[in-house]
Structure 1
């Protein structure tokens, strides 16, 4: 509109400025990956995300495979949105893990396995924030545990490594060669492989000569969890990983495979009622924990810890976990001390444990990590309107006002203790603005769970005088 245009009459000018409301994204959508050989192919096609919002929507999933029992366990906890990804069934475990991991179909270019989670928002309208693959995250398959350069060789300007051996069904590792001054000084592994049952040999090829490397194998990190980590980072989601459910030592080894806030380990397995066998059956715990998180989110909010909340539908656990108030040496406390959540029985079965596998103490608590994610995603999604607008004083004020209002709303709900938003001149120089780059800064403080409550007991004689008052 130009004010110099001639008009004899009345016109309306729409002023499209001012702050916009920010809506928090759904925090408890569950991404579930598994098998269901008897599923209806139309209702649940292979390697395609299907949104399930209630038990009835999963009626055609069948009764075999890992998906039916997992869906039942989730809905035992209450209502939830589940993005179900069905992968093909395989007889051999290594082949099954590969189908769950998936990738990109060479012929169609479509995602397969866990990577279908990337397409969930486009196909289902919601983005999963909790990842589970029950039955496929507890293993620590044999893979590469180390390597030794036995001869560095010389004259290399480029080199490649080829792996052979490993046995039938093994998935061999992949790596790039590290060169220093024409010599081979090591390997940078992009995958450690898994399912290895015989020695693995590394062959160096290139324009140099004389390099040789020996490969050591041993129990390695779960490949499904390893594949999910990159997706969890990109989608700001969390993986509920089932521990080995065998011994404390095995659980500790499993825990040491991970150092990210994106992984939350639960151990051991639990028992739930099976409609197939008409009795209690041992099953992975991750579906019940995921369903519990969804229930807590819906009832209390995403900022509330799922720990010390009753898990519905549990008949017991697969190995004894002792717990006593104030006992630092109980098995439950030792597992929690090592960032492994477990279950205790005290007027019902309760999830017990707050901590992720984060190497950064700032994100040690699951509820804190999820709160930070929800705020970051919600603010980013709500400001697409701000892209490509003219950078003016009113524009800066509108965006900061939107975020400030959102922080006030979260504080009122108890989701944060406080928060603010501002424009920092240090990050908005003339050079930045002329390149169309504007930066807004915000901060917030999430509430922390009262993981340790201490009562200081004093035995005194002061109140004896009351006897004679």
Structure 2
């Protein structure tokens, strides 16, 4: 009944019918590590705050140049080398905590007006005259390259050519960064740090990272374990590497209780990566090793964008690398090769044979071979995550509406329309949403609780193709024009 008297005509809008369901973002890397923030604009430097990075320009602006020991700039370069994807980045390097003070000492400028300090990663530099009575001014008397630790005398300033000066500074001491910094915590003010900060990103950005990495630090069991925990919370996958120097035999043994590396997991959200990759370093003009996980994260993003999250990340060329830490035998038709044995034990590796280039190789998470359910396929697990999360988020518009047949039909048809869309894209073989009265007793409905069944099947990757060959002597009848 209307609340007010009306002698006339009115229109009341009633929302009914299905609602479109929007798929969640998948090509988002969650990267936690260290960055030389002393080399960026102070207003952009962050510690333990999630930062959205969309390009290599953002990477340089917020997290500085590539520098030995710092993991974030190298990881972002590896991700963007693959061509697609975005990253949510948390830097845990804090100059106030992870630094060492260099006492005041005498140094002299060379004939090229440069003075090389004893350390790289320099900040809080103080330059005084040799008698200590004059403090020279940055930008007027000298400039500093904090990454290289080089001070340059400015002509026209107060520092004479080839002068001796007193210098004191702080320098980045990455040995002070502990696994606990990467793992993070919640402080007394309720602020999350390290890996835990990813839990705040939905409220801040509207989505979660779906591919978690902590390059270098992920080789530690303590960090790998927490990556697995966070992946479960965020419905993500966590990529972890074997330590540098791990042999093929050690990688296999690491899957068991007597192994010495961080591979003893059976979680369907853990992706085990082996070996490390070789990359040309323009700063040193030499090859260096870097974690496989950060390149694989970029490949997953590229596949998501170009083909779809329901495609496996396996059998895709990796860009920006010159080789691998350890050569592995690889033949597409030989089950005894090293790459096949790694895959057989739930380890993602690289395939490199004649004319193939360096390719990702492996469809399965650490759940294999313990778990034989299709969810051990990385793409199946991720597709299920997308479906579950997309449907859940879309249900906000139905929450607290009166339970009646119209509401049941609206929810069911909304989900089924979403399923049909995914089937049309090739993300599902089939799928449907069902309302089963047997699961919705009157006592349960009276409590405001509705239950729906969701059934679906993503396509599994064509991991093995078999041809059965027959030599048929009957075909000889064709000789001489026979039938």
TM range (shorter): 0.7 to 0.9
1:113 aligns with 2:188: no
RMSD over aligned CA atoms reads 1.7
Q: Which moved more, 1:432-441 or 1:85-94?
A: 85-94
Aligned length: 385
Counterpart pick for 1:339 among 346, 371, 392: 346
Q: Corresponding residue for 2:209?
A: 128
Counterpart pick for 2:415 among 400, 403, 422: 403
1:298 aligns with 2:305: yes
Q: In the TM superposition, what whole-angstrom CA distance separates every residue of 1:26-64 from its partner, at most 9, and x where no partner exists?
A: 111110011012453432411000000111111222222
Q: Corresponding residue for 1:185?
A: none
User: Aligned partners of 2:403 and 2:207: how far apart in 1?
Assistant: 31
Counterpart pick for 1:352 among 348, 358, 361: 361
Q: Corresponding residue for 1:232?
A: 231
Counterpart pick for 1:431 among 425, 443, 446: 443
How far 1:93 moved relative to its partner? 5.4
Q: Corresponding residue for 1:361?
A: 372
Which secondary structure state, in structure 2, belongs to the residue aligned with residue 383 of structure 1?
helix
CA distance 1:404–1:45, shift in 2 (3 Å): same
Q: In the TM superposition, what whole-angstrom CA distance separates every residue of 1:180-229 from its partner, at most 9, and x where no partner exists?
A: xxxxxxxxxxxxxxxxxxxxxxxxxxxxxxxxxxxxxxxxxx11111122
Is there any run of 5+ residues in structure 1 with no aligned partner, and where?
140-221
Q: Which moved more, 1:431-440 or 1:403-412?
A: 431-440
1:54 aligns with 2:55: yes
How far 1:314 moved relative to its partner? 1.6
Which secondary structure state, in structure 2, belongs to the residue aligned with residue 426 of structure 1?
helix
Contact 2:85 2:298 in 1 (8 A): yes
Q: Corresponding residue for 2:320?
A: 313
Q: Corresponding residue for 1:215?
A: none
Q: In the TM superposition, what whole-angstrom CA distance separates every residue of 1:306-352 from its partner, at most 9, and x where no partner exists?
A: 10111111211000111112211100011000000100124211000
How far 1:5 moved relative to its partner? 4.8
Contact 1:244 1:251 in 2 (8 A): no
Which is greater in Rg? 2
Q: In the TM superposition, what whole-angstrom CA distance separates every residue of 1:242-269 from its partner, at most 9, and x where no partner exists?
A: 1235112321343342111010011000
Correspondence list, 1:368-447, <5 A: 368-447=380-459
Q: Corresponding residue for 2:251?
A: 251
Q: Corresponding residue for 1:209?
A: none
Q: Which moved more, 1:349-358 or 1:277-286?
A: 277-286
How far 1:391 moved relative to its partner? 0.5
| Structure richer in strand, relative to its length | 1
User: Aligned partners of 2:457 and 2:250: how far apart in 1?
Assistant: 36
Contact 2:93 2:177 in 1 (8 A): no
TM-score (norm 1): 0.79
Which secondary structure state, in structure 1, belongs to the residue aligned with residue 217 of structure 2?
coil
Counterpart pick for 2:186 among 104, 114, 118: 104
Q: Corresponding residue for 1:455?
A: 467
Contact 1:244 1:254 in 2 (8 A): no
1:79 aligns with 2:84: yes
Q: Which moved more, 1:93-102 or 1:331-340?
A: 93-102
Is there any run of 5+ residues in structure 2 with no aligned partner, and where?
99-172, 257-263
